[in-house]
Chain A
C-alpha cells in the first residue's frame, strides 16, 4: 500500500471502522444532533448524556466512510467524563491536526489517540469526513437544533 494511503488508513482507523465503539442509542439522552455530509451521503446522529456540565455518556449512529466512522468512534471513547470545556479544547486540537495547522509531525504525546488522524491533512477532501462527528457533537452540546452540514 502507498505510504500516504497507509497513513490515512492506519490500523486503528480500520479497526474502529470495523467495530465502532459506542455505536448505539443511549438509554438516557439529554442532548442530540444530526450531521450530514452531502458530498458523500455520510450521516451521523450523536447522543449525549450531560449532567452538571460533564459528559456522562456519548454515543453515535449513522453511516459513513471509514474515516468518518472511526472519527466518531474514537471521539465518543475520548469524551466520556470530560467537561464541556474539555470537549471543545479537544475539538480545537483535532481540527488543527486534520487541517494541517500542527504540521505533519505533531506532538503525539499531547494528541494521544487522536494522532492516528495525522494523515488526513494530506487529503483535503476527507477533512469533512473526519470532522463531521465533532461538529455534530458540538451542536448537540450547545443544544443547536439545526442539522450540521459540511457544505
Chain B
C-alpha cells in the first residue's frame, strides 16, 4: 500500500499553496460551535497530515510486530520501518550517525534522560547548571531535581523586556563550575529565537556542553546539528506534525558513549546474568523496553511530509503570518504583545486590558478559534512580565491570513462585551 499526500514537492516558495496543504489535514474541515475550526494552538500540538494518520493505520494493519528480536517476517518488516524512521530523522537534522538518534516519548523525556544520566554522572556538590528565564517547565524541573540530589546549583540567564536573553549576563554565569548549559532554541510562550550559535560558542570556549530544547524550533526552522555544534538536541514528534508519545534525543556519539543507561530493561542489553549485565550499543543502550513503534514510523512520515513542503518554505509562510498578525492586532484596543524579540517564530502571545486570557479563550472558542490561554508551562516568564497568564496564537504551515482575520474580529467582539 502506498500512501500519498496531495502536496507535491515544493521546489520554490512561490509554488507554496496553502489551500493544497490544508487538504492534507483532515481535521481542518472540522466545525466547532457551528463555525469552521481556526486552529491556532500549534505550539501546543500541531495537526497531522493524512499521510501520517494513514501510516499508523498501515503499520497496525500490515506490519505490527515487535522489533529487534523476532526471526519471523513481520518482525523484520517492523524493525526495518522503525530503523528507517531513525535514518530519516538523522538526515533531517544532519546528525553524523544514526546511532546518535535516541527515540524517547518526547522532548520532556529527552531532557530527563540527559539530566539523569549525564547530569547524575557529572554533577557534584557546588557545580552549576545554566538554563534561561524563558525555559519551559520541562527544561527547569529535570535540572532542579538532579541539582537538589547532587547539591548543585541552577543558574538562570535573565531576559530583557522584549523577551531576549541578556547575553552579557550569560557570559558572566559561565565558570569552571558550569557542567552543562541547557537552553531553549525557540520560546514556546514568547516566540523568541535564541542566539544559540553564540551560546554554544561561548560555552564550548570553556569546554562546557550545550543541550538545545528544540521542541518549538524543529517545526519552524531548518536544523543542522553539525553546523550548530550542539552537544544534545531534544524535540517532540507531535509538534512537527507527527504522533504524540514519540520524541527524539540527539547526542554527540562520544557523549552518549560516556553516559550510563537511563532505564534498564529489554533491548538495552547485550547479555544479562544475575551477576552482571553488558549494555547494548548505541542507540539501543538508551531505549529500554518496546518503544512506540507506530509513533516512530509516523514521525518518519511526518518528516517526509515536512521535507516535501520544505522547512524553509514553511518558515517563510509562517513569518508572513506572524508579521500579518502582529500588524493586525495593533488595531485591537488595549492589546499588548508579550514577547517582542527581533527574531521570533510564529508565536503571538498577548494580554488584553481588563479581559482575562481564560475569558478570551472561551469567547474565541465560540468563534471556532482554538488558542492557548494560561502560563504555557513557563510560570517564571509570567512572573518576569508580572502577568498571571497570556493568550497565545501560534501559526503553522496550514494557517491563513483569513484565519488571523477571524481571530482579530473575535477579539474586537470580546472588547465590546467586556468594555
Query: Interface on A for B, CB 8 Å cutoff?
Result: 1-2, 4-5, 8-9, 14, 17-18, 38-43, 63-67, 69, 123, 126, 129
Q: Which of B33, B389, B418 contacts A14 (CB 8 A)?
A: B418
Q: Which of B36-44, B225-233, B356-364, B392-400 faces chain A?
A: B356-364
B74 at the interface (CB under 8 A from A): no
Given contacts A9-B417, A41-B375, contact A66 B366 (CB under 8 A): no
Nearest CB of A to B349, in Å: 13
Q: Is B418 in contact with A42, judged by CB distance below 8 angstroms?
A: no
B223 at the interface (CB under 8 A from A): no
Q: Is A42 in contact with B388, judged by CB distance below 8 angstroms?
A: yes
Q: Which of B358, B366, B382 contacts A5 (CB 8 A)?
A: B366
Complex interface: chain A residues within 8 A of B388 (CB): 40-43, 63-64
Q: Which 7 A-B pairs have the closest CB atoms?
A: A41-B388, A65-B358, A65-B356, A41-B389, A40-B358, A66-B359, A2-B366
Query: Interface on B for A, CB 8 Å cutoff?
Result: 33, 354-359, 362-363, 366, 373-375, 379, 382, 388-389, 413, 417-418
State A68–B242 Cα separation when bound (angstroms). Answer: 37
Complex interface: chain B residues within 8 A of A65 (CB): 356-359
Q: Which of B359, B413, B417 contacts A67 (CB 8 A)?
A: B359
Q: Which of B33, B389, B413, B418 contacts A40 (CB 8 A)?
A: B389
Given contacts A14-B418, A18-B418, contact A41 B382 (CB under 8 A): yes
Q: Is B366 in contact with A42, judged by CB distance below 8 angstroms?
A: no
Other A-B contacts than A63-B388, A123-B362, 4 sampled, CB-CB below 8 A, are: A1-B417, A14-B418, A41-B382, A66-B359
Q: Is A126 in contact with B362, judged by CB distance below 8 angstroms?
A: yes
Complex interface: chain A residues within 8 A of B418 (CB): 14, 17-18, 66
A-B contact count (CB 8 A): 56
Q: Is A66 in contact with B356, judged by CB distance below 8 angstroms?
A: yes
Nearest CB of B to A75, in Å: 18
Complex interface: chain A residues within 8 A of B379 (CB): 41
Complex interface: chain B residues within 8 A of A5 (CB): 362-363, 366
Nearest CB of A to B351, in Å: 11
State A4–B363 Cα separation when bound (angstroms). Answer: 11
Q: Is B417 in contact with A14, judged by CB distance below 8 angstroms?
A: yes
Nearest CB of A to B414, in Å: 10
B375, B388, B418 — most chain A CB neighbours (10 Å) = B388
Complex interface: chain B residues within 8 A of A64 (CB): 356, 358, 388
State A67–B360 Cα separation when bound (angstroms). Answer: 12
Complex interface: chain A residues within 8 A of B355 (CB): 66
Nearest CB of A to B34, in Å: 8
State A42–B358 Cα separation when bound (angstroms). Answer: 9
State A41–B33 Cα separation when bound (angstroms). Answer: 26
Q: Which of A4, A40, A69 contacts B357 (CB 8 A)?
A: A40
State A64–B151 Cα separation when bound (angstroms). Answer: 37
